[in-house]
Amino acid sequence: MDHPRMLFCDRFGQIYDEPRLAATARLGVHPVVPKPEDWIPLPEGSDIFSLPDRTPVGWLEDRGRFRVGSRDTWAVSAFTPPGYVRSHLPNGRPQPSADPLPLWAYSAAGWRDDGFYVTAFPIEQNPKGDLAEFDEETIRERVRQKLDEHPENRLLNHLAHCALQNNCLAAKNYFLGRWEAGLPVSRECPSSCEGCISNQPAESLVPASHARIAFRPTLEEALEVIVPHLEEAPLAMVSFGQGCEGEPLCEDEFLEELIREVRGRTSRGTIHLNTNGYAPAKLQRLAKAGLNSVRISINSVRKDYYHRYHKPQGYTFEDVETSVQVGVAEGLYVSINYLIFPGLTDHQEEIDAFTRFLERTGTHMVQWKNLNIDPDVYIRCLELESLSRSEGMRTAVDTIRHRLPQVRFGYFNPPREQFEESVKTDWTK
């Protein structure tokens, strides 16, 4: 199999391939030539991005060396749909004038005669991530119906905006009456993650891609949305902690009351929390109220790297680890939302540290998520410049899978029907 060819883009957005150069990539700061088998045809639902003011770098096979493209051209990258792990970063060399890139997960891209290729591999194939399952006309119709039924419900109006304007799949699921529906409640957060998609400092050159919910719903508004969904939807799940909110544990008292009310009305479906895990005691109270599962976001299990990215205020990485342990002890199904970055996540020291973390906490599942951020911003933020070359994301995933076969790997929050056996909790008590 041949190497794909390098792509580049002109200032008008036209993309070309360079037949004399093979496509290259990066692991952290290290330029690499991915193996031919590291590339897959660009999956349905992907996007191709130009990287403004990043000069493309190719590989001269016959000379065995890298070659920097023309400064008038820009590098090209790909963004894969849900369910895929990117294995390499794009190799675009930033020019001094380069502004930070918007908050997307950039993968290396190349060209073979049959089309675009990307350095990625599937981690979970699930209709939840298949865009063909989301018929826009049906969604618009269902939004109209719901708003006609409950015109005063602010949460419903917010979800309608998420479904129609923000392309939020969890909001779309709600209107389609199935699977995992998102329920945002919180405006606050005790972290300042470098790549937060709902809050960026005023002086940032990178805008937040989602507007945070501007109100806390009332109990009645939330119940009107949650209860019918849990009672009727196939594989029903409602989840707190969405892209359009802060940290849901900041609204722990409200959530505790809400979960008790919901469980007083229906025992069906999964109540789930996506969180940064900053407050183990709050998580414990929600578990006792009737929460079924939790997903905790971590970019690294090494404290320095965790703190440089998440910038926690008033808590530490130890609190996050305690939350994982509390979740397991309380009978929740616990996933780590592992915010991956080729060059760090696949570094041998991180692989070993993450293995130990999963073992000592008893985590049930790892969700491998491509971190949405400009790679060079992340490298500077975490001070990764001096890190030695990493093993590759496939090696990282395979190594941990081999060491800990009991840990489930995937991308999506599983519904209760798929994990009840593994936590063996009787939620009907």
Please report whether residue 418 would count as binding ligand SF4 according to CB under 6 A: no
Residue span binding ligand SF4 (CB under 6 A) among the ranges 168-176, 187-195, 331-339, 356-364? 187-195
Please report whether residue 153 would count as binding ligand SF4 according to CB under 6 A: no
Least distance to ligand SF4, CB of residue 247, Å: 5
Least distance to ligand SF4, CB of residue 121, Å: 25
Pure H helices in 191-279: 219-232, 252-265
Please report whether residue 239 would count as binding ligand SF4 according to CB under 6 A: no
Please report whether residue 196 would count as binding ligand SF4 according to CB under 6 A: yes
β strands within 230-330, DSSP E: 237-240, 270-275, 293-298
Least distance to ligand SF4, CB of residue 246, Å: 5
Secondary structure (H, E, C), 104-137:
CCCEEEEEECCEEEEEEEECCCCHHHCHHHCCHH
Query: What is the rounded (10 degree) CA torsion for 195, 199, 202, 204?
Result: 10
169 vs 189 by CB, closer to ligand SF4? 189
Least distance to ligand SF4, CB of residue 212, Å: 8
Element (H, E) at 325: helix 317-329
Least distance to ligand SF4, CB of residue 286, Å: 17
Least distance to ligand SF4, CB of residue 273, Å: 13
**Which of 56, 217, 246, 343 touches ligand SF4 by CB under 6 A?**
246
**Which of 73, 77, 198, 292 touches ligand SF4 by CB under 6 A?**
198
β-partners of residue 15 are 9
**Which of 199, 300, 337, 390 touches ligand SF4 by CB under 6 A?**
199
Please report whether residue 78 would count as binding ligand SF4 according to CB under 6 A: no
Q: Tokens 């129609």 — which residue?
A: 164
What is the rounded distance in angstroms from the CA atom of residue 106 to the CA atom of residue 372? 8
Residue span binding ligand SF4 (CB under 6 A) among the ranges 135-143, 192-200, 262-270, 362-370? 192-200
Size of site (CB under 6 A) for ligand SF4? 10
Residue 159, C-beta contacts closer than 8 angstroms, at least 6 positions apart: 171, 174, 175, 182, 225
18 vs 321 by CB, closer to ligand SF4? 321
Please report whether residue 249 would count as binding ligand SF4 according to CB under 6 A: no
Residue span binding ligand SF4 (CB under 6 A) among the ranges 8-16, 68-76, 190-198, 232-240? 190-198
Chain-centroid distance of CA 157 in Å reads 25
**Which of 193, 301, 340, 373 touches ligand SF4 by CB under 6 A?**
193
306 vs 419 by CB, closer to ligand SF4? 306
Please report whether residue 242 would count as binding ligand SF4 according to CB under 6 A: no
Dihedrals φ, ψ of 426, to 5°?
-95, 95
Look up residue 92 and give its two tokens.
């675009």
Least distance to ligand SF4, CB of residue 143, Å: 25
- The vertex-292 CA angle with 275 and 396, nearest 5°, equals 55
Q: Within the chain, what is the greatest distance between any pair of CA atoms? A: 71
Contact 342, 393 (CB under 8 A): yes
Residue 425's closest CA among 371, 364, 368? Answer: 364
Please report whether residue 399 would count as binding ligand SF4 according to CB under 6 A: no
What is the rounded distance in angstroms from the CA atom of residue 379 to the CA atom of residue 19? 31
Residue 332, C-beta contacts closer than 8 angstroms, at least 6 positions apart: 287, 291, 292, 293, 294, 423, 425
Least distance to ligand SF4, CB of residue 405, Å: 30
Task: Annotate each residue in 259-298 with x if it binds ligand SF4 (CB under 6 A) or - if it does not, as one string.
Answer: -----------------x----------------------
125 vs 313 by CB, closer to ligand SF4? 313
Dihedrals φ, ψ of 319, to 5°?
-65, -35
Residue span binding ligand SF4 (CB under 6 A) among the ranges 162-170, 189-197, 252-260, 402-410? 189-197
Contact set with ligand SF4 (CB under 6 A): 189, 191-193, 196, 198-199, 246-247, 276
